[in-house]
Structure 1
Amino acid sequence: MRAALAGVLVAAGLAGISSPAAAATCDTKMIFEVGGHLDPDANVYDRTNATLPPGVGFTKIHYSASIAPYPGDPVSLDDSVAEGIATLDRAVRAFHATCPGSRITISGYSQGAIVAGDVLHALSGSGDIPDDLINGVLYGDPRRTGVNGGPGGIATNLPTVVPGITMKGPRGFGGLRVKEICNQNDGICHSENPITNLLGFANGVAGYFLGDHAYDIDPDAVTGSGDVVIAQLPRVPYGPPLPLPIPTPYELFNGDHRRATDAVAGYRAAIGPVLPPAVRDRLHEFPWLPVS
């Protein structure tokens, strides 16, 4: 059955058609998968999709997966995420309408984790689908909430500077079981406050370019909820943050475009000398620290 039947179920749900024949062959669990930047068809899940056990299906969510003004991207992050949210929400609701007793796993990677996490946030406590039927698995989530005051995702750390790349801060999941998986060097989901730990922030930028934003993605194997930070040797040597109660730039400057722009330009200039040369030359590909 797998994705082919999932497509039939989704199409039936979107058309408002109840299909008893399809319902009789429902998977016991459906995994909804959202890829990251430049992965509009969630190909990052292909390896594990090929080995899913009987009774577990998957549905890939197609969307633009774009972050303009990233070079060559036609669609802004905000519009791309909104497109993904709408598509994922329709697909999940259609499947639940056809297979109301089946469990649902919503998973996203990177930009796809924004999409998946925002849908999980909206579904939590809504009553539209019972919370005990839903779980989430997010990899490299830019909106990941920091634990015990530790670093969260970059969208909770830096303020909005570029139109169309809105930093929306953290969000919760209520009673839903959601597992956040994040590499320690991945500056997308583990972004140190640059005011209190500039070298730690630089390490996250370096890690993003040097492979630490990659994950062993297998949402069917993940259980429970909570936050997992995978320890790694740093790319840029750094220590603990200054023991000062200084808020993040997001908390200080978001909504004040001039101060936000000046602050982000200052962080970009300050980390340049400590980054590996290959990373320094690619900062124009890091849209959260715009070069101009």
Structure 2
Amino acid sequence: MKLIAAGVAACAIALGVVLPASSAAADACPTRMLFEVGGMGDPQGNVFNAGNAELPPGVEATKVVYPAEIFPLAPKTLDDSNAEGRATMDRLVREFHASCPGSRITITGFSQGALVAGDTLGNLSKDNRIPHDLINGVLYSDARRVGVNGGPGGIMTNLPTFLPGITMGGPRTFGDIPVVSLCNQNDGICHSENLLTNLLGFANGIQGYFSGAHSAYDFRPVTHNGSANTVFPQPPLIPYGPPLPLPIPTLWELFNGKPAAAGAMNTYRSVVSAVLPQATKDRLDEFPGLAS
């Protein structure tokens, strides 16, 4: 097809005919473009490289490069880093759609990148500059994942904002844009039990984060379509049962945006620390949202 188009263009030039620019541009467009964002410490989105090596014909990938940092583990705060990522993602997506208005767009991210990708999807769902039937999302370990049937959601739906530069944004939705959200049960970033009704379950999410559950995903977003909010069952690393059958709100619901948030989190951080193995306790400052 490209050879035919090239031949037509050559003949047109020889005859002095000017072809519409859109014809040549459309011929060069993929049927689907993946916009990929990596997690903390992966500004180039290398976590998606294996999947990109297997992309089917007509599907291409664009890496959304951003700082991928979280203070105090790196110079930039999570909020500043993510703001840069969202701005870059929004620009790249809109530029691509302007050039290839008929192509599908998949927005995908892992961990911190899932925040960037998910927030971008949420913003796109609120306007119609890009038709929603051309957009879908695939999120791996989204800290703002909504819990299923009242179950645990992401940690940013569970803990309040208490550290400068790390805004716990709460749950978010995507309107009519289909999004697949994937989460491992032991991954405390996307599956965070209510600390007030299931302390051991909350601690298990921290233990799982440091024991590999956070990165154990199959990063092949091209294979995921439709809408799904999936938690993959895993045997707990810290034994825990169902939450207390009491209507106790999460700490996010109780304290987010209130001056008492920092004091409350200092108290509950000590409570959680007491039930963790020493090796995990020593690394608690590395768990996003729990630094002291």
TM-score (norm 2): 0.90
Q: CA–CA distance in 1 between the matches of 2:240 and 2:22?
A: 57
Q: CA–CA distance in 1 between the matches of 2:22 and 2:250?
A: 51
Q: CA–CA distance in 1 between the matches of 2:228 and 2:129?
A: 23
Q: CA–CA distance in 2 between the matches of 1:279 and 1:22?
A: 53
Deviation of 1:125 after TM superposition, in Å, equals 4.3
Q: 1:87-98, aligned counterparts within 5 Å? A: 87-98=88-99
Q: Tell me the equivalent position of 2:117.
A: 116
| 1:269 maps to 2:270 | yes
Q: Tell me the equivalent position of 2:128.
A: 127
**Letter matched to residue 80 of structure 2:** D
Q: CA–CA distance in 2 between the matches of 1:137 and 1:91?
A: 17
Q: CA–CA distance in 2 between the matches of 1:100 and 1:125?
A: 19
Q: CA–CA distance in 1 between the matches of 2:158 and 2:87?
A: 26
Q: Tell me the equivalent position of 1:251.
A: 253
Conserved 8 A contact 1:196-1:244: yes
Q: CA–CA distance in 1 between the matches of 2:48 and 2:25?
A: 25
CA shift digits 1:84-133 (9 cap, x unpaired): 00000000001010000000100010000000001101111411111111
Q: Tell me the equivalent position of 1:219.
A: 221
Q: 1:71-86, aligned counterparts within 5 Å? A: 73-86=74-87
Deviation of 1:276 after TM superposition, in Å, equals 2.3
CA shift digits 1:30-49 (9 cap, x unpaired): 00000000000000000010
| 1:201 maps to 2:202 | yes
Q: CA–CA distance in 1 between the matches of 2:72 and 2:253?
A: 24
Conserved 8 A contact 1:125-1:175: no
- Structure 2: which 5+ runs fail to align? 1-20
Secondary structure of 2:115's counterpart equals helix
Q: Tell me the equivalent position of 1:24.
A: 27
TM-score (norm 1): 0.90
| 1:49 maps to 2:13 | no
- Structure 1: which 5+ runs fail to align? 1-17
Q: Tell me the equivalent position of 2:182.
A: 181
Deviation of 1:19 after TM superposition, in Å, equals 6.5
Q: CA–CA distance in 1 between the matches of 2:269 and 2:55?
A: 43
Q: 1:120-159, aligned counterparts within 5 Å? A: 120-159=121-160
CA shift digits 1:206-226 (9 cap, x unpaired): 111110001111100111102
Q: Tell me the equivalent position of 2:233.
A: 231
Decide which moves more: 139-148 or 125-134. 125-134
Q: CA–CA distance in 2 between the matches of 1:137 and 1:28?
A: 17
Residues 221 and 287 (structure 1), Cα distance of their counterparts in 2 relative to 1, 3 Å cut? closer
**Letter matched to residue 29 of structure 2:** C
Q: Tell me the equivalent position of 2:68.
A: 65
Matched positions, count: 271
Deviation of 1:63 after TM superposition, in Å, equals 0.2
| 1:36 maps to 2:39 | yes
RMSD: 1.2
Secondary structure of 1:228's counterpart equals strand
Deviation of 1:277 after TM superposition, in Å, equals 2.3
Identity %: 63
Q: CA–CA distance in 1 between the matches of 2:42 and 2:130?
A: 28
Conserved 8 A contact 1:69-1:287: no
Q: CA–CA distance in 2 between the matches of 1:141 and 1:160?
A: 17
**Letter matched to residue 183 of structure 2:** C
Q: Please say which structure displays the higher CA radius of gyration.
A: 2
CA shift digits 1:222-281 (9 cap, x unpaired): 111020000000011101001111111011001113x21122122221122321222111
Q: CA–CA distance in 1 between the matches of 2:156 and 2:25?
A: 40
Conserved 8 A contact 1:125-1:131: no
Deviation of 1:175 after TM superposition, in Å, equals 0.4
**Letter matched to residue 181 of structure 2:** E
CA shift digits 1:61-85 (9 cap, x unpaired): 0000000112xx0100000010000
